[in-house]
Amino acid sequence: MGYKHDYDKILTRLTLILARLNDGEALSVKELAEEFNVSTKTLQRDFNQRLSSFPIYQDKRRWKMQDGFKIEKTKSLQEKLVLDIIEKMTEDIGGKFAITSHRVLSKIKNEDFNPIYTKLNIEDIGDRLDDLQHIEKAIKNKTELTFSYENEREGTFRTNIQPLKIVNYEGFWYLLALKDKRVQKYYLKTLSNIEETNIVFEVEDNIEELLKNSINIWFKSDVEPFEVKIYADAVATKYFKRRALPTQTIETLSKDGTMEFTVNITDEMEIIPIVKYWLPHLRVLEPLWIGEMINEDLKKFIEG
C-alpha cells in the first residue's frame, strides 16, 4: 500500500511541475521542495532523472521548458505520463506485440516523443498473437480449448482445458486453466495446435482473488493458505516496506531498522526463491521446516 501511495505522490508532483513548466514558469528547486514538503535532493532527482527526457533546462538555478515546445492541451499531463510508461513497458515485451502497441498508443498520443524509459525482463510473445486471440476468445466465451502441450515429465501430449486467464509471472507468460476441476498452469510458448470447441463451461468467481494473493506461479488453488513468518534485516526492510508482497503484514518494526513480517502462501516455493535471493538479509522464523529446506539446499550447494 505504501509503495502505491509513494508512486501516486510522485506522479502528482511530476504532473504539477510539468504543467507549470508548460505554462512558461521558471521553477526553483528550493521553492518546490518547500511547496511539496520534500527534500531538494528529491526535486533534483525529479529534474535530472524522472523528467530528464523532456526538453527542459536549467537557467540561473531555475528550470524552464525550451522555447517552442508545448505539451498538447487536449489531454492531461498525468494521462501523458501514464501513456508514456505503458508504452515503455510494452516495448520491453517486444515483437509484434510492441509494434502493435506502439501504433495504437501513437494514435492516442499523436506523437513519437517519449520521456519515460523502463527495463522489464518480459519474454517476447509477439509471434503468438494469433494463438493469443484464440485463447482470449475462449476465455471470454467460456468455451473449452484443445491443444498440444510439451513438458519435461510427459513429453508432448494432447489435452483439453477450460481457459481462465493469460498471466505473466516474473516475465514469463502462462495460460491459467481448469483441468479436472483443478487450476493448472501451462507455459504459453509450449502450446501448439490450438483448437476451439463449442463446449461451454462455468467457472467460480474467486480466480481474481486467487491471483491477487499469489506471489509467483507456484501458487495452488486447492490448498488452504498457511502463514510464514520472516525476519528482515535493515537492508531488506527498506525494500519490503516499499514493495510489499501480496498478503504481507508487518508484525514488528524495530528501531534498528529490522522487522518481522508474515505472508500467506499455498506452496513453499512461493517464498523459498525470494528468501534465497535475499540471503543473508531474510530468514524464515516459522514454520521451521521451510527454514530447514533452505538450509539443506545451501548445504548441498556449498558441498558441491
Question: Can you tell me the distance from the alpha carbon of 226 to that of 263, in angstroms, rounded to the nearest whole number?
Answer: 8
Would you state the cell numbers that stand for residue 292, as one nine-digit string?
A: 530447514
Q: Angle of helix 2-22 relative to helix 234-242, nearest 10 degrees?
A: 60
User: 3.40.50.620, 3.50.50.60, 1.10.10.10, 3.20.20.70: which CATH number matches 2-65?
Assistant: 1.10.10.10
Q: What is the CATH number of domain 226-303?
A: 3.30.70
Quote the pTM value.
Answer: 0.63
Residue 135 burial (CB < 10 Å; 0-12/13-18/19+)?
A: buried
Question: Can you tell me the distance from the alpha carbon of 242 to that of 235, in angstroms, rounded to the nearest whole number?
Answer: 12
Confidence of residue 208 (pLDDT cuts 50, 70, 90): confident
How far is the CA of 19 from the CAs of 16, 35, 73, in angstroms?
A: 5, 15, 10
Residue 74's pLDDT is 37
HSE (side-chain half, CA atoms, 13 Å) at 10? 16
pLDDT at 110 over 60: no
Residue 2's pLDDT is 40
| pLDDT-above-90 percentage for the chain | 47
Q: pLDDT tens for residues 21-45? A: 888 899 999 999 999 888 998 898 8
CA-nearest of 210, 212, 249, 243 to 229 is 249
**Span 126-203 CATH architecture:** Roll (2.30)
CB 283 within 8 A of CB 228: no
Q: pLDDT tens for residues 262-290? A: 999 999 999 999 999 999 999 999 999 99
Q: Which residues pair with 186 in a beta bridge?
A: 175
Of 115-119, 157-161, 183-187, 217-221, the poorest mean pLDDT is in 115-119
pLDDT at 126 over 50: yes
Looking at every residue in the chain, the average pLDDT score rounds to: 84
Q: Where are the domains of the chain?
A: 2-65, 126-203, 226-303
DSSP states along the chain: -HHHHHHHHHHHHHHHHHHHHHTT--EEHHHHHHHHT--HHHHHHIIIIITTTSSEEEETTEEEEPTT----TTS-HHHHHHHHHHHHHHHHH-HHHHHHHHHHHHHHH----------------GGGHHHHHHHHHHHHHTEEEEEEEEETTTEEEEEEEEEEEEEEETTEEEEEEEETTEEEEEEGGGEEEEEEEEEE----TTHHHHHHH-SSTT--SSS--EEEEEEE-HHHHHHHHHSPPTT-EEEEE-TTS-EEEEEEESSGGGTHHHHHHHTTSEEEEESHHHHHHHHHHHHHHHH-
Q: pLDDT tens for residues 51-83? A: 776 778 888 889 998 877 666 543 456 666 666
End-to-end CA distance of the chain: 41
pLDDT at 5 over 60: no
Q: pLDDT tens for residues 224-238? A: 999 999 999 999 999
Would you state the cell numbers that stand for residue 82, as one nine-digit string?
A: 501514464
